[in-house]
Structures are given as C-alpha cells and as structure tokens.
Structure 1
Amino acid sequence: MSLAIGANIRRLRTAREWSQARLAREVCLAARVQGDPVGRQEVSRWETGKRKPREWLPFIAAALGVPVEELRTPAAPAEPPLPTLADFLPEGDPLSPLEGSPGRRIGIGEVGDLQQRVHGLRLADDVLAGGDLIRPALRDLRRAVKLYREGSFSGDVGRQLLRQIGELAQISGWIASDAGQHDEAERIYRLGISAARQAEDYTLAGNIAGSLAYQYANTGREAEGVTLAQAALNDAGSDAPPKARALYLDRVAWAHTKAGGVEHGQAAMRALGEAGQALSEDDPGAESPAYLYWVDGGELRVMESRVYTELHRPLRAVPLLREVLGGYDATHARELALYLSWLAVALADANEPEEAAAVAERVVSLSSDVASERTAERVRVVLRRLKEYAEVPEVAAVLANHQAA
C-alpha cells in the first residue's frame, strides 16, 4: 500500500511541476505547522515507499487537492511512466544544513560574488581544458556548499544560493568530465540537479542533467544517457526558454546516436529537427539564462554534423563541418581539436584518406597541448579509424609520428 501511495504522491506532484521541496512546504502549510517538520528528504522517502506518510496523509491530499482515497488507490498507468530527474538525485541530502552551526548571516552580496566566480569558470572553460581548471572548480564548489550548509539566510537568498550552487556544479562537473574524472563528475552533477530542483529552477536542472546524459552517452552508458536526456527534456516542460529546449534536444539526439541502431538513428534525426525548430522560436529580445550564451545555430550545426559522422553519412557531415570550422575561433583549441576529429573520421568514411590524414595531423598537434581526456580519446578514435588506410603514405606518416611521440 505504501508503494501505491508513494507512486501517487510522485505522479500528482510531477503533474503540478512541483519539486519535492515545494510539496514539503505545501504540506506544512496545509497542516498549519510552524517550522519545517517535513522536508525534501521526507517526501523522497514517501515517494520511494521507504516510509509511510501515516498522520501526514490528509495534509498531503489537501496540498495536492485530491481526496485521501485517491492517494491510497493503486494507479494503473496506460503506458510506461516518463523518466524524471527525481531518479537521479544523490543519496541523502548533501545540501542539508549542519546542525549546531553558528549560522553566519549570508546576504545577496555573497551570492553575487559566487555568481561572478561561476561566470569566470565558464569563460575560462572556453579556452582552457579540464586538467587546468579542475582544482579551482572543485575548491569553489566546496566553498559554496559549505556556505549554504553552515550559513543562515532569507528564503529568497537561499534559493539564489542554491541556484548558483547548481550552476557551479554544472560547469565543475563538465570540467571534471573533461579531465577524465567521470565518477567525480557524476557526483557533482547529481548534487547540482538536487540544488537546482530545490531552488525550483527546472531549466537549470535540465541543463545539468543533460550534461550528465552527455557523459553517459560518451562513456559506454548509452541507454542511461537516452533515459536521462529524455528526463531532462520532460522535467523542464514546455515553458523552458527556446535555447534551453534546443540544448536538451541536442543531448537527446546525441544519446540516441551513441546508442546505435536504425531506430535510435531515426530518433536522433527527429530530435535534431525539433532542436532547430525550438531555436527558431528564440526571441533575441527575450531573456535567457546567461549559461546558454553559447547555444546558437552554429552549435546546432556542429551537433548535426557529429551525428551524421557517427551514422556514417560523410556526404552530409563533411560540408557542415567545413562550414562551422571555417569561422571557428582558433583560441578555443580544445573545441577546435574535437570538431576537427569528427571531420577526420568523416573524410576517412568518404574514402579521402589523404585529406583525413592532414586533418588528423592537426588534431594530434592541437591535442598535445590540451589537458583534456576528451581530446585524448578523440585522437585515439581518429588514429584507429585511419589504420584501415595504413598503406597510404600520408596516413602512414601520421601513424608513425604518433607512435614515435
């Protein structure tokens, strides 16, 4: 019975697009109790069946606007439930306040300082690699979590602080992933999803979840990547800014591409089309989150070309990649190396080994000065692909030079 109640609580909560923290507050209001005797963790335990609501059940029903009996009646879903980000929250609550802490008062000024640190890390990530940034990123994240857990603040400042922790977790997780620290990146991403959901910023939660889905897709966990990328899109809802929806759909497309197979390939192409449609609805005068500054038509063309490359459709991939790379900022060495790596593979698929070798040489040269596991892995992918043409002199030279290095 507790499992049925938990499933109903979760179904009704997600239908209202409420976070677990929001439902906890509404239950306390319905019960007219002071303080916070019910928190996010308690709601999580109800939904997973780890604890029965008991005396809280009438107040849960009142908060959700349904009869108590509706919570008790097992639901028979007509179709499999959509994945949600609640399945990807960290164990426990790493953001819970520390008991007995002195509670130094935190103001909006300190939130602004943290916001500047987050923005600085993003700009640094444009030109530096994960190996260069991992230490300062983790240091800033630990400080921010400590500030939240040990400080005292108003409700609005608390939500702003959680939002910045979420943004910091997204860029720190990205940096850790780029440095090859995938387990650490996953822990950071899950922390960020929790922070964003507690702040009731579902657009940010979707961005963080999409980043984790991207890591899954690239590290042999393709099925999980598809599920999580779709959950990010589902949870953010139709009210997410067009740029955000385009980015979520980009992640869905990539996850399906990496999963392989005809059906996944078709799903990837549909997601790419929907991403382009979403971006076309963007109003330049409308406000979007600052962290979406890099999402534009060029970025969608990059993803489209990568999908075509992975699907072995070089006649579509090569022109797109050449177009994008023709105007790319050479100071972004890591991204330049990554995009060139897909061009090298697409040229090899197009039976142009001499051109592929020339591009591969640039990939190897750029990657040698970049402390990024992602570029290192792409070098390995390119060289493996070129071995089919080892008898071609230009290819042989590249392979020999890399082996000697």
Structure 2
Amino acid sequence: MGERMCPVCRKTLLSRYSGDPVCAPCARSSRGALPAVPVWLWDSPEIREALASADLPAFLLRVRSAMGLSQLELASLVGWSQSTVNRVENGERNTLYDIRELLRFADAIDMPRQVLVPLITGKSVTEYPAEGINADMDMDRRHFTGVLAGSLAAGMGWRSPIIPDRVDAAHIKQLKATIQRLYADDQRMGGGLLLSPALRQLTRVRRMLDEADFTESIGRGLLSAAGELCICAGWLAYDSGDQSHARQLFGEALLYAEHSGDERLRVNVASYLAMHAVRQARTRPGRAREALHAVAAGKDAARPWATPRVYGLLAIREATAHAVVGDEIACRKSIATAWREIERGTHEDDPDWTGFVTPTVLTYFEGLTAMTLGKPRLAVARYEHLLADASLGERNRTYYRSCLAGALLASGRRADALAEGVALLPDIGGSRRTLQELTGLREAADESSEFAYRYDRLLAA
C-alpha cells in the first residue's frame, strides 16, 4: 500500500497502520483515546442499580458505605438527625422520595445531579445527559419515578459547591475519604482524568476555610485536610504533565502545613517538592539544589517523630537530586541509607503516605538514578528485575515499562525499545507522565512506524 498524505493539513504522511482518514493532530476533536472523566468519585454499579430500581434506601446506604461514614456523620453532613438516616435506610421514611429532599441531599454531599439519571430511566446508564431535574414538586414512592421522568429541565450537573455553615469532624472525615478515593482511582485511570474533580474538592475546602464556622481544633484539622488535598491534586497535575500547576499546589500545601502546625504534613510536602524539583532539573539544573533544600527541611521536621520509612523516603528523594547534579558517590550513599531504613521494616506509626516506600519502589529508583548518571545498561537490569515482580499494580507496571523502553533505547537496543513501547501504549490511560517518558523513543522512531502512529494518537487525545 502506498503512503497517503493527510487530506486536511496536507503535511503529514498517514501511517500504513492507520485506518483514519486524517492524521492524529487533525483528528484531535473526534478521537476518544482516553476513558471518560468520572462524573462523580463515588459512582459505582451498585449505586446505579439502586437508583435504577428506585430503591432509595439502598442508594443512601451504599453512598454512606462508600464514603465510610457512620449514620451520625452522614446526618451531620446533610442536616438530618441520626434517627432520620436510620429510618430512611430501613425504608421506614420516604424522605428521599420528595424531589426537593433528594436534590438537597445530592447538593449536600456534592453529588452532581446527573448521577440521578438511572432513577429516571430505570437503567444503569454509563453516560449521563446534560438535562436537569425540576425540584418544584412533591411525590410519594408509588408515583416518584413517573413524575420524575417528566421533570427534565435545564440545570442538572455540577452546581456551585454547597458550603456548610459550620464544619465538624464529619466534614473532615469525608474530605479524607475523598482524598483516599482520588488516590485509589489514580491507580486505575491516571492523573489527567482526575485533576478536575480534585480541584473542585479543593475549591470546596478553600471556601470552607473562608466562609464556614468551626472550632480551633476543627480548624487545624481542616487546614491539614486542605494540605493533603493540595498534595493529592498536585500529584495528579504532575502525572498529567501540568508541572506549573503541580508546583503551585505543592506550594499551597506547604502553607497549610505551616498554618496548621502539622509536622507530618510538612514532611510529606517536602518529599513532593523535592520530587517535583528533580523533574524540573532535567531542563533547569538549578532546581536540583532546591530539591536538596526541600529534603533538608523535611529531615528537620521529621526529626522528633519520624519512622524508618519516612527517613527512607527522604533518602530516596535525596539520591535522585544527587544523581541530577552528577554526584554519584553521594547518590550511592543515599540509596544505601534508603535500603538500610526500609530493611528495618514497617512501624505502627508509619504515615499512610509512606505505604508506597517498599523494596520494589527502591529498585525503581536504583534504575532511575542509574539512567540519570548515564548508565543505561545498569538501569535496564534494575527495571527488568523490578518488572519480574508479579505483585505490581498495572498502572505502575506500565510506567516502569516506559522507563525500561527508554533505558533500552539509551543502551543501543532500539528494536527492543520500540517493541516495548508499542506493547505498553494501550495501557497508558490518563498518565501524561508515562507518555512523556517515551518522548525520546518517539524521536527515534520512523514517522511511518506503528509506534509513531499510536504515540501520536495518544498525544493528540
């Protein structure tokens, strides 16, 4: 088959592997290479099924269970009593069969109204329309679905966040559950698809701090939660390739750590600031010194309480910064320190955010620092050893494979690198960070190659 020119831009040769009539950039608006952005973080087949069957007691119970809230905590969020929650869940009260109460409930837990569509259609839909629901009516269980089906009108979707007059422990618990859910979903779909809902939650928290009333202790907890959410959103921005936004969010998290007096949060922020500075040092070498300063600040904040896992994490960040400036001896010393700390095992006081600091992850950083120091063959060996671990999550495995592809290319094994690249591209999802690791491989690939075609599709999406 002969080569074809894109009929739109008349500049790009179409790959023989492409069935598209135009090139990847020209097809940007029509491609759906990535999964859809989640409508609501707590959405699930079970919640949709409960709505589709108009079983609102089950709907309420599943929402509360997903958020990890007690009846009393959910009651606090939505302005009910605990007994009301209990009776609604047991089917003894039809509170949610009043549309006004249902929409008030949705707004209170920051649920977009299109999540209620299964209640209208009787089907567990996978895509939501943009139409809305009219709240100006009363109804009972028997007539609810029929009347609701005829009440579509403008206004469904994300509304401006509803901010409570007074924040209590239940709101902080919901925020922490939201952060955990964001991290869990990140492992499935990548930061690019989750940044928007994370930023919406951050807007909510900022408004709580500015507009709501709370006690001093709740205020400190809210500041800490805001800092944790900034770190989470910063990571999602980092993973999606938005480094400027990531830097801003990590900086905001540091302010919340200082205002709350939360030393654990301060150390966590320092770790992420160091990570980000090291990445920026690829094009701005001076940022490596910034990373070392962040690590030093983290060590100072950690000294009164830190566990071996915490020191191991800071040693990893320190090693990557030393590698960027070419200090191999200091890098090896920091890697050795990290191994020594990690081999001391877990501790009951380990913060949740050190859970990823394992021998497997340290093996990855050995490969990363070897590449940075110009030793791609050593990096290949470390990455191959890492990928032999059957317990790796799929998203982490995909990222590590992209690192392996880069190391194979740098060590002169171009064909092996391209084969690895082609094989992993379908699994990238919303992680621009993983795609960026393959930039060098794209530059080395022939324009008409399968890898170039598939890479350009993802880049244009």
- Tell me if TM exceeds 0.5: yes
Q: Which of residues 304, 313, 320 is equivalent to 1:254?
A: 320
Q: Any residues of structure 2 matched to 1:324-335 within 5 Å, and which?
A: 324-328=386-390, 332-333=394-395, 335=396
Q: Which of residues 434, 439, 444 is equivalent to 1:380?
A: 439
Q: Which of residues 167, 181, 193 is equivalent to 2:242?
A: 181
> Aligned pair in 2 of structure 1 residues 376, 325: CA closer, same or farther (>3 Å)?
same
**2:189, 2:426 → 1: CA distance?**
16
Task: Give the TM-score normalised by structure 2.
Answer: 0.57
Q: Any residues of structure 2 matched to 1:134-153 within 5 Å, and which?
A: 134-153=195-214
Correspondence for 2:62: none
Correspondence for 1:279: 342
Q: Which of residues 207, 224, 228 is equivalent to 1:163?
A: 224
SS in 2 for 1:204: helix
**2:247, 2:449 → 1: CA distance?**
39
Correspondence for 1:371: 430
Check if 1:357 corresponds to 2:418.
yes
Structure 1 position 137, deviation (Å): 0.3
> Aligned pair in 2 of structure 1 residues 324, 227: CA closer, same or farther (>3 Å)?
same
Is the Cα–Cα contact under 8 Å of residues 179 and 374 in structure 1 kept in the other structure?
yes
Check if 1:113 corresponds to 2:174.
yes
Structure 1 position 376, deviation (Å): 2.3
**2:421, 2:189 → 1: CA distance?**
21
Counterpart AA for 2:315: L
> Aligned pair in 2 of structure 1 residues 134, 216: CA closer, same or farther (>3 Å)?
same
**2:222, 2:230 → 1: CA distance?**
12
Structure 1 position 338, deviation (Å): 2.3
Structure 1 position 193, deviation (Å): 0.9
Rg larger in structure: 2
Is the Cα–Cα contact under 8 Å of residues 111 and 164 in structure 1 kept in the other structure?
yes
> Aligned pair in 2 of structure 1 residues 400, 163: CA closer, same or farther (>3 Å)?
closer
Structure 1 position 105, deviation (Å): 2.7
Correspondence for 2:352: 290
Q: Any residues of structure 2 matched to 1:42-81 within 5 Å, and which?
A: none
Deviations 1:229-275 (A, max 9, x none): 3334333233322222211221222223233x3x2x33222221111
Is the Cα–Cα contact under 8 Å of residues 218 and 258 in structure 1 kept in the other structure?
no
Counterpart AA for 2:299: N
> Aligned pair in 2 of structure 1 residues 371, 167: CA closer, same or farther (>3 Å)?
same
Is the Cα–Cα contact under 8 Å of residues 377 and 411 in structure 2 kept in the other structure?
yes
Q: Identity over the aligned pairs, expressed in percent?
A: 25
**2:252, 2:211 → 1: CA distance?**
17
> Aligned pair in 2 of structure 1 residues 226, 166: CA closer, same or farther (>3 Å)?
same
Is the Cα–Cα contact under 8 Å of residues 203 and 244 in structure 1 kept in the other structure?
no
Correspondence for 1:227: 290
**1:375, 1:128 → 2: CA distance?**
12
Is the Cα–Cα contact under 8 Å of residues 250 and 269 in structure 2 kept in the other structure?
yes
Task: Give the TM-score normalised by structure 1.
Answer: 0.65
**1:340, 1:224 → 2: CA distance?**
27
Q: Which of residues 230, 233, 236 is equivalent to 2:301?
A: 236
Check if 1:313 corresponds to 2:379.
no
Unaligned ranges ≥5, structure 2: 1-162
**1:183, 1:351 → 2: CA distance?**
33
Is the Cα–Cα contact under 8 Å of residues 442 and 451 in structure 2 kept in the other structure?
yes
Structure 1 position 171, deviation (Å): 0.7
Correspondence for 1:270: 333
Counterpart AA for 2:437: R
**2:398, 2:199 → 1: CA distance?**
25
Counterpart AA for 1:304: E
> Aligned pair in 2 of structure 1 residues 225, 162: CA closer, same or farther (>3 Å)?
farther
**2:218, 2:414 → 1: CA distance?**
58
> Aligned pair in 2 of structure 1 residues 403, 139: CA closer, same or farther (>3 Å)?
closer
Is the Cα–Cα contact under 8 Å of residues 111 and 160 in structure 1 kept in the other structure?
yes
Q: Which of residues 101, 119, 123 is equivalent to 2:184?
A: 123
> Aligned pair in 2 of structure 1 residues 150, 381: CA closer, same or farther (>3 Å)?
same
Check if 1:199 corresponds to 2:260.
yes
Structure 1 position 372, deviation (Å): 2.5
RMSD, aligned CA: 2.7
Unaligned ranges ≥5, structure 1: 1-101
Is the Cα–Cα contact under 8 Å of residues 252 and 268 in structure 1 kept in the other structure?
yes
Deviations 1:45-83 (A, max 9, x none): xxxxxxxxxxxxxxxxxxxxxxxxxxxxxxxxxxxxxxx
Higher RCO structure, 1 or 2 (CA under 8 Å, sep 6+):
2
Is the Cα–Cα contact under 8 Å of residues 302 and 324 in structure 1 kept in the other structure?
yes
Counterpart AA for 1:257: A
SS in 1 for 2:422: helix
**1:293, 1:230 → 2: CA distance?**
19
Deviations 1:344-366 (A, max 9, x none): 23223433333223212224343
**1:167, 1:255 → 2: CA distance?**
24
